[in-house]
Structure 1
Amino acid sequence: MARAGLTPERLTLAGAELADEVGLDQVTVSALARRFDVKVASLYSHLKNSQDLKTRIALFALEELADRVAAALAGRAGKDALAAFGDAYRDYAREYPGRYAAAQLRLDTETAAASAGVRHARMTRAILRGYDLTEPDQTHAVRMLGSVFHGYVSLEMAGGFSHTAVDSQQSWEWTLDSLDALLRGQASS
Structure 2
Amino acid sequence: MARAGLTADRVTLAGAELADEVGLDRVTMSAVARRLGVKDASLYVHVRNLEDLRGRIALLAADEKTIRIAEATAGRAGKDALVAYATAWRKYAHDHPGRYTATQIPIEIDPELLARALGPWRAVELTYSMLRAYALDEPDLTDAVRLIRSTLHGFTSLEAAGGFAHARPAEDSWVRCLDALHALLKHWPAHDPVHDEHDEGAPA
TM-score, structure 1 as length reference: 0.94
- Partner residue of 1:158? 161
State the match for 1:171 in structure 2.
173
Cα distance per residue 1:32-71 (max 9 Å; x no partner): 1111221101111001111111110000000000000000
State the distance in 1 between where 2:26 and 2:108 align.
22
Deviations along 1:127-186, one digit per CA (max 9) or x if unpaired, are 11110001110000011101110001000000001x111000000000000000000001
In the alignment, the residues of structure 2 paired with residue 27 and residue 145 of structure 1 have an alpha-carbon distance, to the nearest angstrom, of 29
Distance in 2, Cα, partners of 1:108 & 1:114? 15
Q: Return closer, same or farther for 1:80/1:101 CA change in 2, 3 Å cut-off.
A: same
Corresponding residue SS for 1:186 = coil
Distance in structure 2 (CA, Å) of the matches to 1:158 and 1:76: 31
AA aligned to 1:168 is: A
Deviation at 1:105, TM superposition (A): 2.8
Equivalences, count: 188
Q: Deviation at 1:10?
A: 0.6
Partner of 2:53: 53
CA distance in 2, matches of 1:107, 1:175: 30
User: RMSD between aligned alpha carbons?
Assistant: 1.7
Q: Which residue of 2 aligns with 1:144?
A: 147
Distance (whole Å) between structure 1 residues aligned to residue 29 and residue 170 of structure 2: 37
1:16-44 superposed Cα distances (whole Å, 9 cap, x missing partner) = 11101111001111111111221101111
Alignment gaps of 5+ in structure 1: none
Aligned to 1:3: 3
> What secondary structure is seen at the aligned counterpart in 1 of 2:131?
helix
Deviations 1:86-122 (A, max 9, x none): 0000000001101101111324584656542221111
Contact kept, 8 Å, 2:51 with 2:107, in 1: the verdict is: no
The more displaced of 98-107 and 58-67 is 98-107
Letter in 2 for 1:180: H
Distance in structure 2 (CA, Å) of the matches to 1:69 and 1:78 = 15
SS at match of 2:6: coil
Sequence identity, in percent?
A: 54
Question: TM-score scaled to structure 2, two decimals?
Answer: 0.88
Stretches of structure 2 that go unaligned for 5 or more consecutive residues are 192-204
Letter in 2 for 1:58: A
For residue 71 of structure 1, what is the aligned residue in structure 2?
71
Q: Provide the C-alpha distance between the structure 2 equivalents of 1:112 and 1:143, rounded to a whole number of angstroms.
A: 22
